Structure formats: structure tokens, C-alpha cells
Amino acid sequence: MEIQHQDLSYEIYKRLKSMILSNELLGGAKLKQEHIANLFGVSRMPLHRAFQMLENEMLIESVPRRGYFVTKVGIDQLIDSFECREALEGMAARRAARNIVKNQLTYLKSLFEKFIDTDNISIPDYLESDQEFHDMIMKVSGNKVITRLEFLGHNTIRTFRGGMLRPPEESLPEHMAIIAALEKGDGELAEKLVRDHIRKTMELLKKSYSDKRK
């Protein structure tokens, strides 16, 4: 698992972020710096920078005199974040359909084409593509207020803390349909598909939580 890369801190950040989003590192878990440094074969300095990036995204938190811990996210926070995502990304998708250009469409397609007709999809890889897809919709929208609100709230990242709630086989066609709507320049359809896509996952989360409480 040793990392060899010019930008070590970014590579460590990506690895740890993937571990957190896939629930390999659970909320409340302590990040033992010496252990992680040895695991990745890096020094403390790039590790510290990686921790800062994760803290900026509210994925980990620093507790004075105790160290770094994976941030806990409650069910109410997850649902609130999904509701914000539905509204913000829906608006962003409508704008993105007007603004998106060919190379951006090619990039969005490349995020998921590698998973088409694949029997064993890597969940960490799919989660990474999934998040990048939704981040790109925000960026392509060109609406600086929407992107600023997302930056302040980190709603997209927070919702991914719920893990893979729906299998790729179910969400992959939805992603491709959204891309097709963007390619046609159909903002109304793109917004509807994005809202439906996010709402389905949110409703599944609510049902799962409700079933656990019975």
C-alpha cells in the first residue's frame, strides 16, 4: 500500500477519503498518525497536509490533546444534506445543460463507461466517479452562488458518508440518462433526473432508518 507520488499529501488524502466514504474507517475512529504513516510509507509532513484537506471537507476533526478522528454523521444530518443536494444540484443541472461543452461531456461519460457491462464493479472506484460526477455538475453550472453554498456545506461529501445505499447496477443507468439530457441541452429534463436520482437514495435512507427503529 506504500505511496510513491510527487504530491504525496494529495495521494494520502485520496486514499483516506476513499476509506472514509466506503465506511472502511467508521465515524468516531481515531486516525493514528504513526500507524497511517507506516501503512502508506510516508513521513508525518505530507500526512499532516492530507489531514488538513480532510478536515477542510469536514470528513475528520481535530480534538485538542487527543488527535484526529473520523467525523460522525447522524441520520438527521444525512437527510438534511440530501435535501440540500436535491435543490442545489437540480438547479445546477438545469444551468449545466446550457453551459456544458464537448470535452466536459466526454469527461462525464468517461467516469462511468468503464463500469458498463462489468460484472464486478469496485465500490470505492464507483464512489469516486460518482462524487466527481456530481461535483462536475456543480462546476459546469457556472453558478457561483450554488458552488459557494456547496463548498460551505459540503453536502455532497456528507451524503456519501452513508455508503453505497443503492447498487451501481441501479444508479449507473440514471447517471447515463442525466448525461444524455445534458448532451441534448434539455435543462428541464436534466433537473428532473438529478432530483429523482437524489430523492430515490434519500427515501431509501429514510426507509432503512425507519426499519431499524422498529
Q: What is the pTM of this model?
A: 0.73
Nearest to 190, CA basis, from 200, 201, 179: 179
Q: Output the pLDDT for position 214.
A: 55
Superfamily of domain 75-213 in CATH is: GntR ligand-binding domain-like (1.20.120.530)
Q: How far apart are CA 116 and CA 100, in angstroms?
A: 23
Q: Which long-range contacts (CB under 8 A, 24 or more apart) does 89-92 make?
A: 89/134, 89/137, 89/138, 89/156, 89/194, 89/195, 89/198, 90/191, 90/192, 90/194, 90/195, 90/198, 91/141, 91/143, 91/146, 91/191, 92/137, 92/138, 92/140, 92/141, 92/143, 92/146, 92/194
Nearest to 157, CA basis, from 49, 45, 10, 14: 14
Q: Is residue 4 scored above 70 in pLDDT?
A: no
Highest averaged pLDDT of the listed ranges 3-12, 55-64, 85-94, 199-208: 85-94
Q: Output the pLDDT for position 213.
A: 57
Domain boundaries along the sequence of the chain:
8-70, 75-213
Q: Output the pLDDT for position 123.
A: 85
> Rounded mean pLDDT of 9-20?
86
Q: Is residue 197 scored above 60 in pLDDT?
A: yes
Terminal-to-terminal C-alpha distance of the chain: 42
CATH code for the domain defined by 8-70: 1.10.10.10
Q: Is residue 173 scored above 80 in pLDDT?
A: yes
Q: Which is more confidently placed, 208 or 203?
A: 203
Alpha helices in 70-101 (DSSP H): 75-99
Quick: pLDDT tens for 121-167: 988 889 889 989 999 999 999 988 888 777 666 666 667 666 677 89
